[in-house]
Amino acid sequence: MPTKFDPRPPGREDFPPRKANIRLIAKKRDRTPSRAAPGGEGVEGVAAGEAWTTWWLWSGFCVGTLFGSFIHLVGWRVPRGESIVRPRSHCPSCGRTLSAWELVPVLSWLALGGRCRTCRTPIPVRYPCVELAAGTLFALTATHAANPIAAVAWAVFWLLLLAVVVTDLTTMRVPDVLSLPGAGVVLVLSVVSGAQRPLAAVAGMAGCALVLVLLHLVSRGQMGLGDAKLYLSIGAMLGFWGGLGSLVLASAFGTVIGYGMRWAGWLKPRQPIPFVPFIAMGVVTVVWFGHPLTRWYLHAVFGGS
């Protein structure tokens, strides 16, 4: 039975991960003549299905890290008013244009020991982290999405979220030029892919943004309006309750990690911390762990099964 935090409309059992879905997808793929072993349903068919799932997992991961590398560039350049096409990727310190082998996601950073080859300036660990995050989210999406349109919709949503994580981490801003057109694109994709029904998507969008605007007013501007604009997309994709769940989780992550960082001395007493990374953690948790979490919560609060 769908619960309040269920980001999907009833009957849409396709996206958030369940082992049964992997099997279902694997089975569906077995039936395709070119991929299935002769006989289809037998042991060979299952093996072919598993091999196919592994193939999707790794291709999703590799494509994801490439997109992650690009979205880091977008998140870095857009708030600085730079073009995302020119100039080619270069070291921000010494300005040298990077060669192809220095642009391989994650691996180049590891091979270079996290430093520029010429000027030895450290390359922030944020680069490989964003690439790995995109790779992981793409891999999970490639193996769990019900159809190609759903896969594209979720991939675009993850990229928008990651781009804004980068802008918030580096400039403490959520640029309108990303959040507002992004919300329009995500709304269309959410409805077309069937992630949300039209009314639920619009209600989620408006409801979540309204909650954030209220929080902005109550907190006297501590919660930025940029976060409210980002929640237009999150509400459109997750629906109102899913969006609200991600916000509650984001506050919990922010409180725990924020206090931890202050306690460890990584933050000065009144130094503000960017909130979008915690929002992203909340969203990822709702999408991939929403069901077990709601079940656990309801059990803990109301008891019974």
Q: DSSP letter at 275?
A: S
User: Coil, strand or helix: which one is 126?
Assistant: helix
Mark 248-259 as b/e (b = at least 16 C-beta within 10 Å).
ebbbebbeeebe
In sequence order, the β-bridge partners of residue 79 are none
Q: Is the dihedral of CA 204, 254, 61, 51 positive or negative?
A: negative
In sequence order, which residues have a C-beta less than 8 Å from that of residue 198 and are 6 or more positions away?
191
Measured between alpha carbons, how far is residue 121 from residues 93, 117, 226 in Å? 7, 8, 31
Q: Say if CB 238 and CB 157 are below 8 A apart.
A: no
Least separation in angstroms between residue 121's CB and Zn ion is 5
How many Å apart are CA 73 and CA 57, to the nearest integer? 24
Least Å distance between CB 119 and Zn ion? 3
- CA–CA gap between residue 293 and residue 298 (Å, rounded): 9
Peptide bond into 87 cis (omega under 30): yes
Q: Which residues bind Zn ion (CB under 5 A)?
A: 91, 93-94, 116, 118-119
What residues are paired with 122 via a beta bridge? 115
Structure tokens given for 132: 């790995």
Closer residue to Zn ion, CB minimum distance, 51 or 91: 91
Distance CA 181, CA 89 (A): 25
Say how many C-beta atoms besides its own lie within 10 A of residue 7's C-beta.
Answer: 27
